[in-house]
Structure 1
Amino acid sequence: MTNDKIRTVTTPADQDLFLDVPARVYGNDPNWIPPLRSDVAKQFAPDNPFFGYGKLQQFIALDSSHPSQAVGRIVAAVNQRLIEREGKTVGLFGFFECVPDCAIAQSLLNAACQWLREQGMTVARGPIDLSTHNNCLFLVDGFDTPPMVMMPYNPPYYPEFLEKDGWQKAKDTYAYDFPLDKPLSDKFKKAYQIACKSGITFRPIRTKGEGFEQDCISLYHLFNRAFANNWSSAPRTEAEFLEEAKSLQSLVDPDVFPIAEDKGEMIGFFMGLPDYNIPLKHVKGKLNWLGILKFIWHRRQIDQGRVIAIASLPEYRRKMVPLALIYLGMQGGIKKGKPYKRAELGWVWEDNFPSRKLIEASGGTIYKTYRIYEKTL
């Protein structure tokens, strides 16, 4: 199948075709977890805060034999915050999905790159769905297991399509597998004891009412300080951060989300989440009343979790706060009554050697590799 009929998304009908593409691409893939259709659609709603500092264009590739169906999609985006931070005119592509046809993929990529050129961009980077705070990265190794919560997944041919189209690796990142049946080294418990003796206090995140909102505001400011230099990342507004936090509020397990404080100020955290992809797989992208019932029923099957981030202000690393947080997070995961058998830690950029050293010392091993690509326009 080949098809060069690329169309910009301008109508509700086009938007439906855009949202339908993943089901066609992954219909027979047992490892695919359908995203919530409403969550994807929300990214293009006029009230998305992104439109306050960026612009985008959606494209679909139509099936030449069935013009009422789409066989591919892509979004080109300009994130002004990222441009200001990096000091160069870098544009993004994301939301890429395509049937196994290289010609269609190249047509979509060409359409996105041409739009970015028209906006004055000189470099294209992706896949990044508007921001690295959203879905991003192509999986390039580790296709044998489903993705954990909030992690990407794609067919093995996506990276091949980009490389055939002249895209270059910009940077790799890793996910680490961490079986919970192996005890941590004693140095992690000792680190916790040292941190406590130095005056650091630890507690679980609060998950209800005003306490949750206060903790989220503190997390937002700590995120911005701890991850200020993350590659290809631009800061979110407080409103954006809080909106995402509220969407995850009911999913948080406080036992795997410890917080470190010094005199009442948050100075570190270990952000673990149960792997809600396990029940989401059965929802099939729609959280209607039936989907909610299926989610509630299948969430009992959750037996693994993902560590999204471990953060500490630099001045507290000598007080062993990162190691203490790992100790508490892992202890919370294996306490009596908890279902977790393994954890995933990631993602971690390949050149983030301090974090990688810490994770590998904890017993983590790389089991999935992801990649961001770039191309000169």
Structure 2
Amino acid sequence: MFTTQVARTHPDLPAFPSGPAPEVVLSLLEGNLAVGRVGLWRGPDWQGRRTGLIGSPALLDPSGLPELLHAACAELRQLGAEVALGPLNGSTWFSYRLVTDWGKRPPFLLEPWSSPAELAGWQAAGFAPLLHYHSSAVTPETHAPDGRAAELARKFADVTVRSPTLCEPALSRDLAALHGLSLAAFAGNPLYSPLSLPSFEALYRPLLGRVPLDWVWLAERAGEMVGFFFAYPDPASGALVLKTIAVKPGRAQAGLGRYLSHLFHARAFAAGVPEVIHALMWDGNESAAISARSAPVVRRYALLGRDL
């Protein structure tokens, strides 16, 4: 039995991960206990069609995933959605995607992970890959020299790079500047939706407190933030995970991402970093094009969709 009413949750069912609160929580009941649940949201339009988002499905018995997803799709139709997307935890600022090609290496720190059985469960419910993503890895041996490095270094000679400070009020100023830059840089990404400054701070402030700041780069020009690189070490492999690249849109910044990427890799390898992982890139973005020059793919992911 499925219900959208508040239900007492089985103690072994995990809590929802961080992200916006679901508009609807659909629960699978066994007796008077929820033994499965999924969050539902109305999402941004996709190719002119209204979307519904399915996030954070959890079940005590994983074999029930197709049934839960079918019920979720029926509920999204009631909300007016024409396309169901998932897994997507309310917004692309938070957890989304499934692994579709696991490769040979273990997961890196903070990498979203899912099993072949989870992918099979979504596919059994009629879902198929809609948007494709990948992670790739580059080493000093595979990193290709950039033929435009000297040209770009001259163009961006007035760009300085620094790490954020955790002291206030400087940290709040940096977070506000990062928020504005991120909204502008990511606005063209698929299924983009803006994130408020308080929510952005709640997401990034704890991260900045957890990772070494040497590889968190704020690029500034004439006192304005024009670029942002967020990377952190993976303790298991010693690699640097380059999670986020953002550059202010506009002709004045054309090539800045490429310049910063060259500088980042040069400094990382000079410091003895054995590998840089370019994490979770959408196959269609500029960062993926920069990465493709020298970084073999190590993992593939997808966001899945289904017509309603």
TM-score (norm 2): 0.86
AA partner of residue 324 (structure 1): Y
AA partner of residue 252 (structure 2): Y
RMSD between superposed Cα atoms in Å:
2.9
Match of 1:78 among 42, 45, 49: 42
- State the 1:306 CA deviation: 1.4
Q: Distance in 2 between matches of 1:272 and 1:74?
A: 31
Match of 1:310 among 245, 249, 252: 245
Alignment size in residue pairs: 307
The residue number in structure 2 matching 1:376 is 307
- Contact map agreement 2:231 2:241 (CA 8 A) in 1: yes
1:145 has 2:105 as partner? yes
- Contact map agreement 1:55 1:77 (CA 8 A) in 2: yes
1:323 has 2:266 as partner? no
Where is the strand percentage greater, Structure 1 or Structure 2? 2
Match of 1:341 among 260, 270, 274: 274
- Describe the shift of the 1:159–1:307 C-alpha distance in structure 2 as closer, same or farther (beyond 3 A): same
- Contact map agreement 1:251 1:273 (CA 8 A) in 2: no
Q: Distance in 1 between matches of 2:301 and 2:226?
A: 29
- State the 1:68 CA deviation: 6.7
- State the 1:181 CA deviation: 5.2
The residue number in structure 2 matching 1:233 is 192
- Contact map agreement 1:89 1:123 (CA 8 A) in 2: yes
Q: Distance in 2 between matches of 1:316 and 1:142?
A: 39
- State the 1:58 CA deviation: 3.8
1:358 has 2:290 as partner? yes
Matches within 5 A, 1:283-302: none
AA partner of residue 306 (structure 2): K
- Contact map agreement 1:140 1:369 (CA 8 A) in 2: yes
The residue number in structure 1 matching 2:216 is 257
Q: Distance in 2 between matches of 1:302 and 1:357?
A: 25
1:18 has 2:17 as partner? no
- Contact map agreement 1:177 1:367 (CA 8 A) in 2: yes
The residue number in structure 1 matching 2:68 is 108
Task: Classify the secondary structure of the residue corresponding to 2:181.
Answer: helix
- Contact map agreement 1:307 1:344 (CA 8 A) in 2: yes
- State the 1:190 CA deviation: 2.1
Q: Distance in 2 between matches of 1:119 and 1:179?
A: 48
1:160 has 2:124 as partner? no
- State the 1:183 CA deviation: 5.0
- State the 1:248 CA deviation: 0.8
Task: Classify the secondary structure of the residue corresponding to 1:151.
Answer: coil
Sequence identity percentage = 20
Matches within 5 A, 1:187-202: 187=147, 189-191=149-151, 193-197=153-157, 199-202=158-161
- State the 1:124 CA deviation: 0.8
- Contact map agreement 2:25 2:37 (CA 8 A) in 1: no
- Contact map agreement 2:17 2:56 (CA 8 A) in 1: no
* Unpaired stretches in structure 1, ≥5 consecutive residues: 20-36, 44-49, 279-300
- State the 1:165 CA deviation: 2.2
Matches within 5 A, 1:23-42: 40=16
Where is the helix percentage greater, Structure 1 or Structure 2? 1
Q: Distance in 2 between matches of 1:182 and 1:351?
A: 22
TM-score (norm 1): 0.72
Q: Distance in 2 between matches of 1:132 and 1:74?
A: 17
- State the 1:368 CA deviation: 0.9
Q: Distance in 2 between matches of 1:194 and 1:68?
A: 64
- State the 1:324 CA deviation: 2.1
Would you identify which runs of 4 or more consecutive aligned residues in structure 1 move more than 6 Å? none
- Describe the shift of the 1:207–1:326 C-alpha distance in structure 2 as closer, same or farther (beyond 3 A): farther
